[in-house]
Structure 1
Amino acid sequence: MLSKVPEVTLIFWIIKIAATTLGETGGDAVSMSMNLGYLVATAIFAAIFLVAVVAQIKAKAFHPFLYWITIVATTTVGTTMADFADRSLGIGYAGGSTILFALLMASLAIWYRSMGTVSVDTVGSPKAEMFYWVTIMFSQTLGTALGDWTASTAGLGYEGSAVVFGGLLALVAAAYYRTSVSRTLLFWVAFILTRPLGAVVGDFLDKPLNAGGLALSRYSASAALFALMLTCILFFPQKAAKQAH
């Protein structure tokens, strides 16, 4: 049987990083450049996310465009939601990261207890899909807060943070090829780490020069990232993951 999530390949990770970076620039474009604020932007992206998730769960087969639209929806709402909690509510980057990490771990624990596994190879039923998307939502939101915390509070800056998260991803890749560590564990660690990497790269692209960024337009950066995703999806067709039993 085939699931409605893509096979995990190199192109999967390339699109995922582009999607998480787009989530940062796109979320900031709506909340900041359009001056709608974090709360209104979160409401807009949350509505898009709900529609996309319902469509994804109701779909009878894997559709690459629908899947990646849903991923982008999780990462944009994750961006504005984390910014609202960290900045508007005053929780702070460290506090927000801690709360979201706890929520993410709770989501994985409940999923495991309910289904007996959190492997993406078993995402075939509506129940498993709901756990999958809730977990992804928490991971995307955590990534924004964690990326902001390392870049700002920890003082690493956008480039330094990108090096740290890129290095951690390289270690995960090395563990995948050279050890027998659980593939499910490595997948979720890599999936979580790609989000703060995308967050700091997105901020590096669109933040002002005096803040350590390149001061690119959020709209043009978002358009370029969307074009990259579209090119990858069109020229490197993805297959549905084989469903495990």
Structure 2
Amino acid sequence: MTTATTPENLRTPARQMLNKVPEVTIWFWIIKILCTTVGESFADWIDMNLGVGLVNTALIFTAVLAAVMTWQLRTRRYVPFVYWLTVVVVSVTGTLYTDILTDSQGVPLALSSSVFAGLLAVVFGIWYARERTLSVHTITTRPRELFYWLAVLVTFALGTATGDWTLELTGWTAGVSVFLPLGLIVAIIAGWRLGAGAVLSFWLAYILTRPLGANLGDWLGSPGGDGGLGLGTAVTSVLFLAAILATVVYLTVSRSDVIETDAPARTPRPANPARERLMLGYYAVVAVATAALLVWAHQQPHAAPAGEDAAPAPVTVHLTPAQATSPFPPAEIAKFRTITADTLAKIEAGDQSAATTRVRDLETAWDDDQSALEPKNGRSWHFLDSEIDQVLTALRASSPDKAAEVKALDALLTSLG
């Protein structure tokens, strides 16, 4: 969708600059989803494969964001490479902030979703009160540019929280969960076509591209046993980074998304307050229908996420350490054993937060290796998978019990030899 040009009925700032955001075309939405997907998968890859850990990864990307944002703010016009690099880094950083609240601090997704929604409302409220517009076609002053990027960062955090909350409520696989944000975006496009406010429609769709892109990345990267295609986070990141680069090169050459300041002004769609009020009712109906769908899905039988307190399914067979590990490459087993030992050490040192962060590395590493390990010996894989589930359940309990955590970690270490 394209936001209608608001009449520059807005105050004319004393210090204007060239509009430094792209025109909202189909290319804008394509590359936005690509950036969202690679932001999710690339952050997971760094967190797990490099053994950096969630908090350290967030600190690294906060520093990178500051550098990239400085570059973007110092540019004098819209530069596709700089702008979209900033979007990718904002995507990663916003995702990590939500993950820290959820995985390290134990903040419920319902609460973090509400907090980010409230924060976004505050950002929009202050932005509009000061500038009298939220249109991306009017990012021609430094304050508007700063408001714009702050809103973008919060939308990524909000989209991450609401997307994860949806998965927690419904138990849907990543592949199935793609259809909810996709369907809502289609509904927003229909509403915009029928006369809904362009600025409201733009920001609603912008928020929804975050769970859409993240679910798409999870579906491509997740093992087949989890309903994904099993490409892994590294391959998914490389594919989407290549697609982003190709698209940015095209936009740089074609300049098809540049808002030309000296071009004849676009004739805005005539305002129709009555139609816009009617379409607000339409959006409210869509929201109610979505809530009803989520309530219905939550009430259906589905597997509990690993972070919930439900006990994992019992293992019907017990294997010796040799039976459990011998079918698999020693280097992979050593990797799992190192992470498990690190987690146990943090528990024994009384650092629950660090242990919860470290065990996420174990979960990600195990999931990424499923497509390679499970075919070697399904029985051994399922035995170790159950042991890991018991560790995750113990560490992610709402009220963790140190004795239960140590017991589960010791059992896994024994099984890993």
| Residues 93-121 of structure 1: CA deviation (Å, up to 9, x unaligned) | 22221111111111111111111111111
Aligned residue for 1:167? 183
Q: Equivalent residues in 2 for 1:124-203 (5 A)? A: 124-177=140-193, 179-203=194-218
Partner of 2:236 in structure 1?
221
Partner of 2:227: 212
Counterpart of 2:367 in structure 1 is none
Q: Which residue of structure 2 lines up, in the alignment, with residue 241 of structure 1?
A: 259
Letter paired with 2:201: L
In 1, distance between residues paired with 2:158 and 2:45? Answer: 20
- Partner-residue secondary structure (3-state), 1:28: helix
Give the superposition deviation at 1:147: 1.5
Looking at structure 2, the residues matched to 137 and 201 of structure 1 have their Cα atoms a distance apart, in angstroms, of: 20
Alignment of 1:61-140 (within 5 A): 61-140=77-156
Structure 1 unaligned segments of length 5 or more: list them: none
Aligned to 2:259, the other structure's residue is in SS state strand
Higher deviation after alignment, 68-77 or 97-106: 97-106
Higher relative contact order (CA 8 A, sep 6+): 1
Matched residues in 2 for 1:91 and 1:21: separation? 24
Query: CA–CA distance in 1 between the matches of 2:222 and 2:112?
Result: 21
CA shift digits 1:121-142 (9 cap, x unpaired): 1111111111000000000111
Number of the residue aligned with 2:74: 58
More helix by share: 1
CA distance in 1, matches of 2:102, 2:27: 32
Aligned to 2:20, what secondary structure does the other structure show?
strand
Q: Does 1:230 align with 2:245?
A: yes
Amino acid at match of 2:227: G
**1: CA distance between counterparts of 2:192 and 2:64?**
34
| C-alpha contact 1:17 1:198 (8 A) present in aligned 2 | yes
**Cα distance in 2 between the residues matched to 1:242 and 1:105:** 30
Per-residue deviation, 1:63: 0.2
Identical columns (%): 36
Letter in 2 for 1:89: Q
Cα shift readout 1:46-86 (whole Å, capped 9, x = no counterpart) = 11111111111111111000000000011011121111111
SS of the aligned residue for 2:21 comes to strand
Compare 206-215 and 94-103 and name the one that shifted more: 206-215
Matching residue's letter, 1:50: A
Aligned residues: 243
RMSD: 1.6
Instruction: Compute the displacement of 1:146 (Å).
Output: 1.5
Q: Which amino acid aligns with 1:53?
A: M
Describe the SS at the equivalent of 1:5. coil
Structure 2 letter corresponding to 1:194 = T
- Cα separation, 2, equivalents of 1:28 and 1:63: 28
Q: 1:42 matched to which residue of 2? A: 58
1:220 is matched by which residue type in structure 2? V
CA distance in 2, matches of 1:138, 1:40: 20
Which has the greater radius of gyration?
Answer: 2
Unpaired runs of 5+ residues, structure 2, are 1-16, 266-417
